[in-house]
Amino acid sequence: MTTKTTRTDQLIEQVRDSRVWRSVFRSGSGNSTLHRALAIQQNVFLHLFSAKVRKRMVSFSATWYLGTLTLGTFLILVVTGILLMLYYHPSVPQAYADMKDLQFVVSSGLFLRNLHRWSAQLMVFLVFAHMFKVFYRGAYRTPREFNWVIGIVLLLITLLLSYTGYLLPWDQLAFWAITVGSNISSAVPIVGSKIHFLLLGGNQVNANALLRFYVLHCVVLPLTAIVFIAIHFWRIRKDGGLYVQQSEPRPASPVVSAPVAPLPAKEAK
């Protein structure tokens, strides 16, 4: 177990045994399996994931990492979005001027905005690709039905984020796109006009609509998304991790010995 320890290693061990480290990270030095499992389990951010995964669970061909990439683009969007919020005022004449400022004055402002916009497009694409991949893999079947529903909710949240974000530059493209979209919503029978009014905060796309969409885009929808992402990951873990064909439990009865197509998964525990 003990290999040749270098001076650096000794130093690292000393740091990990110190009081400060133990106060922050709880488990001290040591490389045992317990240590490694505790490092994951006692971390508020990481404990959502399982401490151990099978190697085949992270195989590329299973998922093409689409879900991970979706999460990655979401994180890019959050970071770039917060940076953009530093320069953006959600008021009617100011919003467009802020876009111009980002383009011409802010250092790498255009890059920041483009990164946000392209990540948004990419995220929508990845979400759909992820959905199709899950479908084609059959990873929606028992016990993963509810997770599929959560995924659909996440899809809707993604599309809503895209839609609300579209209005924020307040240019002609934004204005008319949202006008068309909100007019579609008013076509819903019985409650259509009320939905329209609720969506825009008024009868027209104006300052109220901009503010409303800004709050939705920056606060409400991201928080909702984070909650649902947490549920989504939690359910992945609780349903037995990523769905890979080989991870299917062998049927209990030894009657069938030849390899057959996997039956609908029973409780795989």
Stretch 142-171 residues interacting with other proteins (CB under 8 A): 171
With both helix axes pointing from N to C terminus, report the angle between 172-185 and 145-167 in degrees, rounded to the nearest 10.
130
Binding residue (CB under 8 A) for other proteins from 97, 152, 198, 226: 97
> What residues between 166 and 225 interact with other proteins by CB under 8 A?
171-172
Q: Answer for the pair 185, 179: CB distance below 8 angstroms, yes or no.
A: no
Eight-class DSSP state of 263:
P
My answer on whether omega of the bond before 143 falls inside 30° of 0, hence cis, is yes
Shortest CA distance to 93 belongs to which of 14, 185, 11, 206?
206
CA–CA–CA angle 258, 263, 265 (5° rounding): 130
Angle at 42 between CA 229 and CA 246, to 5 degrees: 60
13 binds other proteins (CB under 8 A): no
CB of 248 to other proteins, least distance (A): 26
The yes or no reply on residue 96 touching other proteins (CB under 8 A) is yes
Q: Which is nearer to other proteins, 45 or 104 (CB)?
A: 104
Contact segment (CB under 8 A) with other proteins among 74-82, 106-114, 207-215, 246-254 equals 106-114
**Choice between 115 and 124, CB closer to other proteins:** 115
Stretch that binds other proteins, among 18-26, 90-98, 195-203, 227-235 (CB under 8 A): 90-98
Is residue 12 part of the contact set for other proteins (CB under 8 A)? Answer: no
CB nearer to other proteins: give 105 or 191: 105
Compute CA distances 67 → 73, 164, 242, 251, whole Å: 10, 23, 10, 29
Single out the residue of 77, 178, 179 nearest to residue 124, CA to CA. 77
Q: Which stretches of the chain are assigned E, i.e. beta strand?
A: none
Q: How many residues contact other proteins, by CB under 8 A?
A: 13
* Residue 104 in contact with other proteins, rule: CB under 8 A: yes
- Using CB under 8 A, pick the residue from 36, 58, 101, 155 that binds other proteins: 101
Question: Could you say which of 108, 142, 203, 245 contacts other proteins (CB under 8 A)?
Answer: 108
Q: Long-range CB contacts (< 8 A, 24+ apart) of 56-61?
A: 56/244, 56/246, 56/247, 57/241, 57/242, 57/244, 57/247, 58/242, 59/244
Select the span of 77-85, 102-110, 158-166, 239-247 touching other proteins (CB under 8 A). 102-110
Tell me which residues touch other proteins (CB under 8 A). 93, 96-97, 100-101, 103-105, 107-108, 111, 171-172
